[in-house]
Amino acid sequence: MNGRTLGYGLTFVAALIAPWVAYPVFLMTALCFALFACAFNLLLGYAGLMSFGHAMFFGMAGYFFGYVVKTLDLAPELGLLAGVLGAAALGLVTGALAIRRQGIYFAMITLAFAQMIYFFCVQAPFTGGEDGLQGIVRKPLLGGLIPTKDDRVLYYVVLAIFLFGYGAIYRFIHSPFGQVLKAIRDNEQRAVSLGYEADRYKLLAFVLSAALAGLAGATKAMVLQFATLTDVSAATSGEVVLMALVGGLGTITGPVVGAFIIVTMQNYLASAGEFVLVIQGAIFVVIVMAFRKGLVGELTEWWRRRSAPRTEPAD
Amino acid sequence: MPDALLRVEGLQAWYGESHILHGVSFEIGRGELVTLLGRNGAGKTTTLKCVMGIVGERSGSIRFDDGETVGKPSDAIARLGLAYCPEERGIFASLDVEENLLLPPQVKTGGMSLQEIYQLFPNLQERRRSQGTKLSGGEQQMLAIGRILRTGANLLLLDEPTEGLAPVIVQRIGEVIRQLKARGFTILLVEQNFHFAATVADRHYVMEDGRVVDMIAAAEVQQSLGKLQAYLGV
Amino acid sequence: MAQVALGLVNGAFYAMLSLGLAVIFGMLNVINFTHGAQFMMGAFAAWLLLTQLDVPFWASLILSPLIIGLFGVLIERLMLKRIYHLDHLYGFLLTFGLALIIEGLFQWKWGSGGAPYPAPIRGGTDLGFMVMPTYRLFVVVAALVICLATWYAIERTKFGAYLRAATENPTLVRAFGINVPRLITLTYGLGVGLAALAGVLAAPVQQVSALMGTNLVLVVFAVVVIGGMGSIMGSIVTGFGLGLIEGLTKVVYAPASNTVIFVVMAIVLLVKPAGLFGQTR
């Protein structure tokens, strides 16, 4: 059994026993953000597109979930579905427009669209405005089979959702689609000259990323039982970028690590008020200046350098 | 040569991982016009860029007026009295002709005045308010050369000034270069067009694979035609 | 009609800020997310100068941009300079992080509430169709003057020629003997100073608060996408124009006034992705 399989195995076992060791709601929140960060990273690491407005998918999906489950009083499965589909639809519309520019402009456009969604949410009646959607009851899943009111039980549901999302990303990356996407990211002109419609692939990646971010957002609403303006704010968009950055852009496990670190940090610093922003900003700065590969990236690099065979100088 | 204005010894240069120059050595005396000949990829432009300080990684020795310049940044080198006319001409699109001409600052006294430059290139004066890149190829080349005459630099680095130009314009540029030499400028010329180079140069250095492999004085050119043909693949 | 005129006031700030962003982007190829925070610091500097040192508005108009501009120079020298060789997105992330730090610190120290700043010009001016607070009229005129002066400096002066040339081909400009790194630092400092100047002008119009920058900069990004960052005049026209449109929307259909600029951005992206005055993709 090689190191990596062992690593995955241990992590899986840890994940299974986690709710007896740590506070389940904290774990679930971290898992939701981990999925969110993975969805973001799919777009950035594999399509080369940095979205600075990903909160719009995360937050809106939460609102959709809340609306379906609380206001329309339907089953939570439908709520999750509504979140995913709603986010995907939003992704299709905004993505089609944002993809028309690249790089920095793309980032600014996604940021601007997210602001638009934010303002919409402030005013739209169904979101509950400044108060948000509160008190979303945890209804049992699978027609009553799974009692979601128990945090530990819900944890396994959320874990399953997370693994589903993570698995979807993994399958996508290693599929033919994923390979083409990588080729486009590395050398778009060449890919286009080979006959690939780059924009279509990018849009597909964007919609997928939006849908998964929506899954994360809807699940979070299910766990924490509310959806508020913070979830669609620029701050949340910035947070997910930070998570992916801290963990390591373009690595598949990085965003998960980053999400756990940031959520833990937020928990500890909850009493510090606005100072959290300063810390977050400082982390951004430090990483960009010194640790661009993120935690996972830098560790992988360090490990590789350690295990590289030493070459003897030529005589 | 005891009083060389420029002396290059053992110059090596890299573009990232590629090792382009493997030890280039040559020298230019004051008032001389010297050419670097060679096929595509021999390293002529890279050598010029190294002298000007534009190439990132270089080692060896470049002495200008008996001062070491190999480690200096390009703006410091320019201020010592060197000026560069790049192969792609580098005319600024967002500036008009006169702004292009006036852009390089005066680094020493003794440069030509704007009026004198207009005398040398009358058609530039006609089009002084045109956007730089709206000029024809030949006019842009003249603008690129004219630009560096105002600065007071005494060593001019010209990279393929006749490339892609009509024979009439090539002739005109040859006249201009001879006039500049007569005025006392020292010139290092990179050329693929050997016939043009032969009409203006005092000496020719031949480059191959990042090294200087031969030097042919103007007087010896006739006898060395066979050798030159082999070097340049003409 | 009054709303439209007041929209011009907003437009004045959009124009000044998108101008600063465009100038910085042109030279440094960095989207200065910190612009909003620097705008806010400009306003705060004026407020602090007034409340702590009794420095009047007119002096702050000069002092504040100088102080904040110097701060910008420091940022460029210590941090931005080291990441130019990287993908532009890193510049965005760095300036975003800096904005968080600055705004977080100001919020932590002074809270998110606003502090009022007394208008240096009292009273109103009768424009015929409305009576406009004279100070706001002054802001519009001042902004126009500042923008046009900046345009003139860039398009018609020797220094502007250096800037334009260095934006196009910094290597060659350096090979002519011009200290391009210093020019870049100076440009960033000037762009930041411009943001701070806008902040000082804004102080009497809206409350001086730690959050005044972020709210604005996100809209300015949309303005910048709409205008394209290719031309100085383009940024000015787009800024004022969008302010007018926003004002008009307040009259015609008030709830959309927050989002109309983003809608315009969506339309422009559909029709002319490079921006109204933009050139490249």
pTM beyond 0.90: no
**Is C170 within the bounds of a domain?**
yes
Per-residue confidence band for A143, with pLDDT thresholds at 50, 70 and 90: low
Tell me the domain boundaries of chain B. Answer: 4-228
DSSP annotation string for A211-272? HHHHHHHHHHHHHHS-B-GGGGSHHHHHHHHHHHHHH-TT-SSHHHHHHHHHHHHHHHTGGG
> Once rounded to an integer, what is the mean pLDDT over residues C60-80?
93
8 Å CB contact of C175 and B74? yes
The residue segments making up the domain with residue C181 are 2-271
> Once rounded to an integer, what is the mean pLDDT over residues C110-124?
81
> Once rounded to an integer, what is the mean pLDDT over residues A235-259?
89
**Is C277 within the bounds of a domain?**
no
Contact present, A297 and A249 (Cβ < 8 Å): yes
pLDDT score for A7? 78
**Is C228 within the bounds of a domain?**
yes
How many interface pairs between B and C have CB atoms less than 8 angstroms apart?
A: 59
A35-50: pLDDT as tens digits? 999 999 999 888 888 8
8 Å CB contact of C221 and A111? yes
Touch between chain B and chain A (3+ CB pairs, < 8 Å)?
Answer: no
Whether pLDDT at A311 is above 70: no
- CATH number for the domain that contains residue C85: 1.10.3470
C226-237: pLDDT as tens digits? 888 777 888 899
Number of domains in chain C: 1
Which DSSP category does B65 fall into?
T
Among C31, C96, C224, whose Cβ lies nearest the Cβ of A238?
C96
Per-residue confidence band for B44, with pLDDT thresholds at 50, 70 and 90: very high
8 Å CB contact of C96 and A50? no
pLDDT score for A147? 76
Residue B191 CA to residue C151 CA, distance in Å, equals 42
> Angle CA(A131)–CA(A133)–CA(A138) in degrees, nearest 5?
140
Whether pLDDT at C280 is above 60: no
Pairing relationship of beta strands B67-68 and B57-64 according to DSSP bridges: antiparallel
From chain B, the residues in CB contact with C158 under 8 A are 102
B201-227: pLDDT as tens digits? 999 999 998 999 989 898 888 888 888
Per-residue confidence band for B7, with pLDDT thresholds at 50, 70 and 90: very high
> Once rounded to an integer, what is the mean pLDDT over residues C166-181?
91
From chain B, the residues in CB contact with C173 under 8 A are 103
Per-residue confidence band for A310, with pLDDT thresholds at 50, 70 and 90: low
Contact present, B103 and C165 (Cβ < 8 Å): yes
Per-residue confidence band for A315, with pLDDT thresholds at 50, 70 and 90: very low
C261 or A129, which is more confident: C261
Q: Which residues of B touch C (CB under 8 A)?
A: 52-54, 73-75, 77-79, 83-84, 86, 90, 92-95, 99, 102-105, 107, 147-148, 151
**Is C46 within the bounds of a domain?**
yes
Residues 6+ apart with CB under 8 A from B104: B78, B83, B147, B148, B150, B151, C176, C177, C178
Whether pLDDT at A73 is above 80: yes
Query: In percent, how much of chain C has pLDDT > 90?
Result: 40
8 Å CB contact of C97 and A120? no
> Once rounded to an integer, what is the mean pLDDT over residues A284-312?
80
Tell me the domain boundaries of chain A. Answer: 18-232
How far apart are the CA of C88 and the nearest CA of chain A, in angstroms? 7
**Is C54 within the bounds of a domain?**
yes
> Once rounded to an integer, what is the mean pLDDT over residues C148-171?
91
B135-154: pLDDT as tens digits? 888 899 999 999 999 898 99
pLDDT score for C63? 92
B4-228: CATH topology is Rossmann fold (3.40.50)
Whether pLDDT at A145 is above 80: no
pLDDT score for A295? 84
> Once rounded to an integer, what is the mean pLDDT over residues C232-260?
85
8 Å CB contact of B103 and C172? no
Contact present, B48 and B157 (Cβ < 8 Å): yes
Which residue in A has a C-alpha nearest to residue C99's C-alpha?
Answer: A281
Residue C62 CA to residue B103 CA, distance in Å, equals 30
Whether pLDDT at C191 is above 90: yes
Whether pLDDT at C281 is above 60: no
Among C90, C96, C221, whose Cβ lies nearest the Cβ of A112?
C221
